[in-house]
Amino acid sequence: MKIIKQKIIILDKRGILKEIAKNFTWKQLNYSITKKGSVRGNHYHKHTSELHFIVKGKLELYIKNLKTNKEYNYLFKKGSCFIIEPYEFHILKYLTYVELIVLLSEEFNLKNPDIYK
C-alpha cells in the first residue's frame, strides 16, 4: 500500500496544477462512480496494481497484506491518491457518493480478471 503525497507544481491567478503521481506505467484508465453505502473490492490481485485518485467523496479502505499479514484501515477523501499493490486484499467502503479515477497496471480481462477472493 502506497499513499501518494501530491505537490503543487503551479499556483497562480489561473488556478492550481498538482502533480498526482509520476514514474509509473499504467495500461488502463477507468472512471468509477459509486453510491453511498456500497462496498467494492473484497479481493486481491496477483499481478495488478491499482492507483486510485478520489475526485469527489469519502471512502474507507481496509487492506490486508497477504505476504506479511499486516492489516491497515485508512480514511480517504477528495484529492487523496493511493496505490493498492498485488497480494493486498482490499475492501473499499463508500461513506458518501464517490467519483474515482482508477489506473490499472494490467488491462482488465473478463476471461482472466486477476481477481481472487
Contacts of residue 96, defined as CB under 8 A and 6 or more positions apart, other chains included, come to: 36, 57, 58, 59
Task: Give whichever of 4-8, 11-15, 58-62 has the largest mean pLDDT.
Answer: 58-62
Is residue 86 within 8 A of residue 47, CB to CB? The reply is yes
For 78-112, the pLDDT digits (tens) are: 999 999 999 999 999 999 999 999 999 999 999 99
Predicted model pTM: 0.91
Mean pLDDT of 43-49: 98
Domains observed in the chain: 23-104 (2.60.120.10)
pLDDT for 22 beyond 90: no
- Decide: helix, strand or coil at residue 95: coil
Share above pLDDT 90 across residues of the chain, in percent, rounded to a whole number: 80
Distances (CA, A) of 4 to 38, 44, 64: 24, 20, 18
